[in-house]
Amino acid sequence: FLTMVIINGQFKLNINTMKGRMGERMLRRLRYELFDRVMRFPQGHFRKVKQAEIATMIKDEVEPLGGFIGDAFVQPVFLGGQAATALFFILTQSFWLGMVAVAILLIQVVVIPKLRKRVLVLGKERQLTARQLAGRIAETVDGAADVHANATSNYERADIVARLSRRIFFIRFELFKRKFFIKFLNNLLAQTTPFFFYLIGGYLAITGSLDIGGLVAVIAAYKDLPPPVKELIDWDLQRQDVQIKYEQVIEQFTPDGMLEPALQAPIDGDVPPLAGPPVLACVSVVDETYGPLLDGATATI
């Protein structure tokens, strides 16, 4: 027994170490990829975005992705194996008690994720409002001299109060209410199963269809079933949340008119001199709103 405990602990140590290393390497690669995209933004796009928002997305919003990358495959296999082992043991002791456990698990698996869809939407709104708040604060700090010169500090305070009170507070409060209701319902379902075990198992024991020792073994084995199931449900919620965050970030880093990577690629060897003067022939130039700046311009420099 002690040998198996040590081997199991070594498994957990190695798994956690390797998945953490993989997550950090992928997070490092993702952050560099996002910064590389910033270097290829069209010039007009920099006037539409705030530097604080870009920095927040690269530094903070992709942080959960690194933690989930390692768990993406490890958690379902590890926790699913634990839940399947406990459920198999219950079914071998009593088929009907096993069916009760399966029925409650199906309710949890079907109902809880549906309730959490609204939680994911609220999480997306919270992330967006927090990013906008960071951009607004950075904009105010950059323009502090103008704010003081025009005595508009109270307008800036009012804007921040509106963001904090009317938007962020109510989003977070509704998020908390829904999260704790889901937690309450999940715990209620988890505690309902032992009740049916005592009810049905007690009847079967009285009628002689089930041994008392088998009933005690089922109840003891069930203690190992809810924790991995709950963690699997949390894993699925985290997966959906990470997916939403990833899509949000990628959407912000994929503007129209991005420069091709080849235009900024390092040049090997010496750059040859120009063979002649630069010549423009029928050149048209438009701004970021596609308004014409030049049309059919021809020049030799």
CB atoms within 10 A of CB 100: 21
CB atoms within 10 A of CB 295: 10
Please report the sign of the dihedral spanned by the C-alpha atoms of residue 141, residue 142, residue 143, residue 148.
positive
Residue 130 has a pLDDT of 81
Instruction: Give pLDDT < 70 ranges for the chain.
Output: none
pLDDT (tens digit, 9 = 90+) per residue, 116-149? 778 878 877 887 888 788 888 888 888 888 888 8
**CA proximity to 64, closest of 245, 251, 231:** 245
Residue 97 has a pLDDT of 79
Residue 234 amino acid letter: D
- The tokens of 275 are what? 């063979």
Residue 3 has a pLDDT of 94
Residue 281 has a pLDDT of 93
| Cβ-contact 264, 39 below 8 angstroms | yes
